[in-house]
Amino acid sequence: MPWQAVTLQLAPSAAEAFSDALVEAGAQSVWLEGLGHSLETIHALFPRECDWEEALRLAAAAAGLAQTPHHTVSEVADEDWVRKTQAQFAPLEIGRLWVGPSWHTPPSRSIAVRLDPGLAFGTGSHPTTRLVLYFLERVVHGGERVLDYGCGSGILAIAAAKLGATSVHAVDVDSQAVETTVENAKANGVELYAGLPETLPAPETYDIVVANILAQPLIVLAPLLAARTAAGGRIALSGILESQASEVADAYAPWFRMHTGRIEEGWALVEGERS
């Protein structure tokens, strides 16, 4: 069956919301390709019978854009799309971690996280996801309690469990992301809890809290995430442009000793230790 492949470019601040809206509007698969701090390329695959023009219009409105971004569209066959998709997702090695899709074989001594491209954001290919994976590889040594707030595909929660965390909770406001996290956790042979944010146990705190969202939601969430971080615990925040790092750090400063950590392609990791 032929598919419609749509490609467009957006500013990073709007790209994730636009991608989520495309999925809601009928895209079979969506992924982002970073081009640095100024632009993100979005690739979306639609069934031939889907009204992709209407999907773009709805996504633009949901992302707060005044008009539909400039885009290109082409028709591709099943087998061509499979090859194109697989070529986009090469394995990623981060210290002890190996993150890759099912059609690749990990090195024998690596800690493998298998994740195929799908509807939910987060396959490890985007800089914001890689930043948190580097953080987890560095700080998880075994026995930690970890919270992944805004889990998407579950990649960060699964990586934490694979690295040795004994208790991993993953939450997202999107029920589809929760379902995807559960499925990916099963495929990776790890046990974790996944659910909506309001289902988290009320008094529980965590040694490590990670959140890969966007700068403004992270600022709003500062009191909540601080309350979920144990004394002496660590927090890592991603989805933040380098120019936004100080503003996000300031929002968490009442509870944490904050600093800007690793930077990739114009994206920054903001991390800290709970006072």
As to burial, measured by CB atoms within 10 angstroms (0-12 exposed, 13-18 middle, 19+ buried), residue 246 is middle
Classify domain 92-274 at the CATH superfamily level.
Vaccinia Virus protein VP39 (3.40.50.150)
- Check residue 117 and give its pLDDT: 64
Question: Confidence class of residue 134 from pLDDT cuts 50, 70 and 90?
Answer: very high
Structure tokens at 266: 């114009």
- Check residue 80 and give its pLDDT: 53
The answer to whether the CB of 40 falls within 8 A of the CB of 11 is yes
Mean pLDDT of the chain: 87
- What amino acid is encoded at 146 in this protein? V
pTM: 0.74
Question: Confidence class of residue 1 from pLDDT cuts 50, 70 and 90?
Answer: low
Those residues whose C-beta lies under 8 Å from the C-beta of residue 119, and which sit 6 or more positions away, are 23, 27, 28, 29, 30, 176, 180
Give me the count of residues in the chain.
275
Inform me whether the pLDDT recorded for 267 exceeds 50: yes
- Check residue 119 and give its pLDDT: 43
- Distance between CA atoms of 254 and 24, rounded to whole angstroms? 37
Q: How far is CA 115 from CA 84, 86, 173, 176, 187, in A?
A: 17, 12, 21, 16, 9
Q: Which residue has the higher pLDDT, 22 or 149?
A: 149
Q: How far is CA 160 from CA 115, 148, 171, 210, in A?
A: 14, 9, 14, 10
Q: Among all chains, which residue has been given the structure tokens 């600093």?
A: 259
At the topology level of CATH, where does 3-88 sit?
Alpha-Beta Plaits (3.30.70)
Least confident segment among 62-76, 99-113, 115-129, 250-264: 115-129
Inform me whether the pLDDT recorded for 205 exceeds 90: yes
Query: What integer is the mean pLDDT of 172-179?
Result: 88
The β-bridge partners of 267 are 241, 264
Start-end of CATH 3.30.70.1710 domains in the chain:
3-88
Start-end of CATH 3.40.50.150 domains in the chain:
92-274
